[in-house]
Amino acid sequence: MKKTRLALAIATTAMASTPVLATNGDNLIGLGAQSRALGGTGTAAFFGSENALTNPALLGKSQGTEFAIGGTLFKPNVKATTNVADMTGQGTYFSQTSDNDSNIIPEVSLSTRINENWAFGLGIFGSAGMGVDYRDNAGYDTQDASPGVNGNGSVLFNGYSNLQLMKFAPSISYNSDKFGIGFAPVIQYGALDINYKQFDSNPTSPTFGNVLNRGNGMSSDIGYGYNLGGYFNITSDLTIALAYQSAIDMKYKDQISVASEGFVNPASDFKEAFGDHLEQPAEIKAGVAYTMGSFMLTADAKQIKWGDAKGYKDFNWKDQNVFGVGAKYSGNRFWAGIGYNYGEDPIDKLDGSTSYKAQVTNMFNNHFFPGIVESHFTFGGGYSLTKNLSLDGAVVYAPQVKKTVDTGFLSGSTNPSATTHEVKHSQMGYTLSLRMNF
């Protein structure tokens, strides 16, 4: 139990100040160094204690006790370019690269055998999140947008968003020679902060001509769900598996509602602010792993149910099909692997040619929650430092993608494309993990 308390303390402390902008939507492609090196797979491939959140049934393949602690240095590169923000000289485009460009995501896992057929596990992971930071007026990539120079202090809305998610999952698994099943109740901690500045251009408003701050400080919530999984050994070398992760409802008081109130327009089709629920969606996963001597091939397919999740479906996120493949070679005291992961952009752009609400939705997605990257190229390896101590690492690269939305109605124009908002997004991730076996 001392190990469990230590793991929880480490992960909780690290997540307290960790903004994340993740990959399959706002979910990391994989949890743990081995999974991330092999394209985010792990539904059927056994990677030790780090399987605790991916498929708890696989802990039934563990031997003895394993404790792993590590983290990911996550480096998203997000750049927004727009002329939508209320400012002097609407025809001028301003660009800024988000200052939220380096984040630490913790990972702690434990597995131990109870007897021949039962195993216990624990996973504590920063599992998802997203965020941007455009608050530095001096950091614009094109022109000076300081108050009184080319703008009024609301260029790019001085936008800031920060979603943090951490999961704590004790798990139990049963295994025989041919199959295994596992279950893990999940406790999820989440925190959300959305803040921006907006120029009041309504001449009938008592605050006309002022720059208003939209935001209410960070809100947090705790939600509950479960993971359920199973695997079957068709042969000693071939494993197939299924896993299900339940949706977890979260409500962040006065966050999304307060942020969207700044764009409510009774004269348009957006008469009421969005709600504050932001449910982490359910996931359905299937996987296969095949071993040929020193080589292992693995593949996963999963569907992330963004389209059914409260909050995300209001912002027109759609169900996302994700595919991952990986290959691993294990030698004397080392392993090396490569992989690829693909998940189509889940944020479906609405037709903003006639709808003010559609333009508000598109702009909020683009500016505050641009989880639009699709392809991920991965590689990694590990080395046994001693009989009981191993070091694993992984690198994930997501090449740049771009999305542009019309925002003319938000600028007060009758031309839907009079102003636009563009976001570019690429990512690098570096994972290290120290595994101890007893």
Tens digits of residue pLDDT in 221-280: 999 999 999 999 999 999 999 999 999 999 999 999 999 998 898 889 999 999 999 999
Q: Is 296 exposed, middle or buried (0-12, 13-18, 19+ CB in 10 A)?
A: buried
The answer to whether residue 206 scores a pLDDT higher than 60 is yes
Which is nearest to 22 in space by CA: 438, 339, 370, 306?
Answer: 370
Q: pLDDT tens for residues 60-70?
A: 999 999 999 99
- Average of per-residue pLDDT values in the chain: 87
Which residue type occupies 330? S
Burial annotation 174-208 (CB, 10 A radius, 16+ → b, else e): bbeeebbbbbbebebbbbbbbbbbbbbeeeeeeee
Question: Rounded to an integer, what distance in angstroms lies between the CA atom of residue 388 and that of residue 156?
Answer: 52
Written out in words, the top-level CATH class of the domain with range 14-437 is mainly beta
In terms of DSSP bridges, do strands 118-133 and 320-331 run parallel, antiparallel, or are they unpaired? unpaired
Q: What is the mean pLDDT of residues 370-390?
A: 95
Question: Rounded to an integer, what distance in angstroms lies between the CA atom of residue 85 and that of residue 199?
Answer: 8
Contact in structure between 378 and 340 (CB atoms under 8 Å): yes
Contact in structure between 36 and 30 (CB atoms under 8 Å): yes
Contact in structure between 296 and 278 (CB atoms under 8 Å): no
Which residue type occupies 140? Y
Q: Note the pTM of the prediction, 2 decimals.
A: 0.89
DSSP E strand boundaries for 246-374: 283-292, 295-304, 320-331, 334-343
Which is nearest to 92 in space by CA: 419, 423, 402?
Answer: 419
The answer to whether residue 435 scores a pLDDT higher than 90 is yes
Burial annotation 335-363 (CB, 10 A radius, 16+ → b, else e): bebbbbbbbebbbebbebeebbbbbbbbb
The answer to whether residue 89 scores a pLDDT higher than 70 is no
> Given pLDDT bands bounded at 50, 70 and 90, which one contains residue 298?
very high
Distance between start and end Cα atoms, the chain: 15
Q: How far is CA 31 from CA 40, 143, 418, in A?
A: 7, 40, 43
Q: pLDDT tens for residues 108-153?
A: 999 999 999 999 999 998 876 778 998 876 555 555 555 555 556 6
Two tokens, residue 24 = 């399959």
User: Which stretch of DSSP H or E encloses residue 333?
Assistant: none
Q: What angle do CA 160, 270, 366 make, to 5 degrees?
A: 35
| Residue 147: predicted pLDDT | 58
Two tokens, residue 148 = 């009184």
In terms of DSSP bridges, do strands 219-233 and 160-175 run parallel, antiparallel, or are they unpaired? unpaired
> Given pLDDT bands bounded at 50, 70 and 90, which one contains residue 10?
very low
> Given pLDDT bands bounded at 50, 70 and 90, which one contains residue 84?
confident
Higher-pLDDT residue of 94, 205: 94
Question: Rounded to an integer, what distance in angstroms lies between the CA atom of residue 116 and that of residue 245?
Answer: 26
> Given pLDDT bands bounded at 50, 70 and 90, which one contains residue 7?
very low
